[in-house]
């Protein structure tokens, strides 16, 4: 039993970034430095993490890091994927296959925060299927090997920028993942961004807070969000 417990502990340690396990600031890569990516990445910088922002638009990266200080830096998409203990991907949903093709090998085994929403009018037929299946499950299929954490997806950047780190009770955001260690890290990163994280279960269950769901865009406390998602207190 002791040997089995030791093996389980070592396995868990192997999939959690050392900095996170030690309670230290992490290195986070951001792929897509538009409104969502720059907002969330900026909140993590202010929380003390080191963040590398990347985007196909170099000017957008410059705007994202402006005024954030030395913990924010610019890089290419492959550099951000390699840099991060965890990686936030914030791109149009139709760009996910291209991201997989470009840096999918680097993302294998890494925690990937997924706020991406399939929008048929923008993303085409792939978005119709993704919405039917659920965006979290679909993102995991598009980025095989990445440890997907679904969060930040159904609230606008302006709302999150305004509500982050407000006085208690803080705005709550749901977090879902199929990987227990990834879920734990995701909950912490949502907290570090200035919100109350709510464990919403698996990626399949994250369909309940997809864009357009009854909780989408609503500013709720953790207790209110749990009730709205029919989660246990």
pLDDT in tens, 89-140: 999 999 999 999 999 999 999 999 999 999 999 999 999 999 999 999 999 9
Which tokens sit at 219? Answer: 């500013």
Assess contact for 68 and 33: CB atoms under 8 A. no
Neighbour tally for 158: CB within 10 Å? 10
52 bridge partner residues = 29, 73
Q: In terms of pLDDT, which residue wins out, 8 or 123?
A: 123
Across the chain, the runs of DSSP E, i.e. the strands, are 27-31, 50-54, 72-74, 86-89, 111-114, 147-150, 172-177, 196-199
74 backbone dihedrals φ, ψ, rounded to 5°: -105, 150
The 10s digit of each residue's pLDDT in 39-87 is 999 999 999 999 999 999 999 999 999 999 999 999 999 999 999 999 9
* pLDDT for residue 13 is more than 70: no
Q: 72: helix, coil or strand?
A: strand
Which tokens sit at 229? Answer: 């998602």
* pLDDT for residue 20 is more than 50: yes
Q: Where are the alpha helices (DSSP H) in 108-192?
A: 120-123, 125-133, 135-142, 157-163, 180-192
**Cis (ω within 30 of 0) for the bond into 5?**
no
Q: What pLDDT, on the 0 to 100 scale, is given for residue 233?
A: 79
Residue 169 makes CB contacts below 8 A (sequence gap 6+) with: 196, 221, 222
**C-alpha to C-alpha distance for 139 and 114, rounded to whole angstroms:** 8
């Amino acid at each position: 039993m002791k040997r089995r417990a030791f093996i389980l502990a070592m396995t868990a340690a192997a999939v959690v970034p050392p900095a996170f396990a030690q309670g230290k600031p992490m290195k986070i890569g951001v792929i897509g430095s538009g409104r969502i990516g720059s907002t969330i990445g900026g909140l993590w910088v202010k929380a003390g993490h080191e963040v590398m922002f990347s985007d196909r638009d170099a000017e957008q990266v410059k705007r994202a890091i402006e005024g954030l200080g030395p913990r924010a830096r610019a890089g290419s998409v492959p550099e951000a994927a390699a840099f991060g203990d965890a990686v936030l991907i914030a791109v149009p949903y139709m760009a996910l296959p291209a991201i997989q093709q470009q840096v999918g090998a680097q993302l294998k085994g890494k925690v990937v925060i997924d706020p991406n929403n399939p929008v048929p009018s923008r993303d085409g037929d792939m978005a119709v299927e993704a919405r039917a299946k659920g965006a979290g499950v679909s993102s995991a299929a598009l980025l095989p090997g990445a440890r997907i954490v679904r969060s930040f997806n159904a609230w606008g950047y302006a709302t999150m920028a305004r509500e982050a780190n407000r006085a208690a009770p803080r705005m709550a955001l749901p977090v879902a993942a199929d990987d227990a260690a990834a879920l734990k890290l995701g909950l912490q990163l949502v907290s570090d961004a200035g919100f109350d994280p709510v464990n919403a279960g698996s990626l399949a269950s994250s369909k309940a807070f997809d864009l357009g769901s009854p909780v989408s865009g609503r500013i709720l406390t953790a207790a209110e969000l749990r009730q709205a998602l029919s989660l246990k207190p």
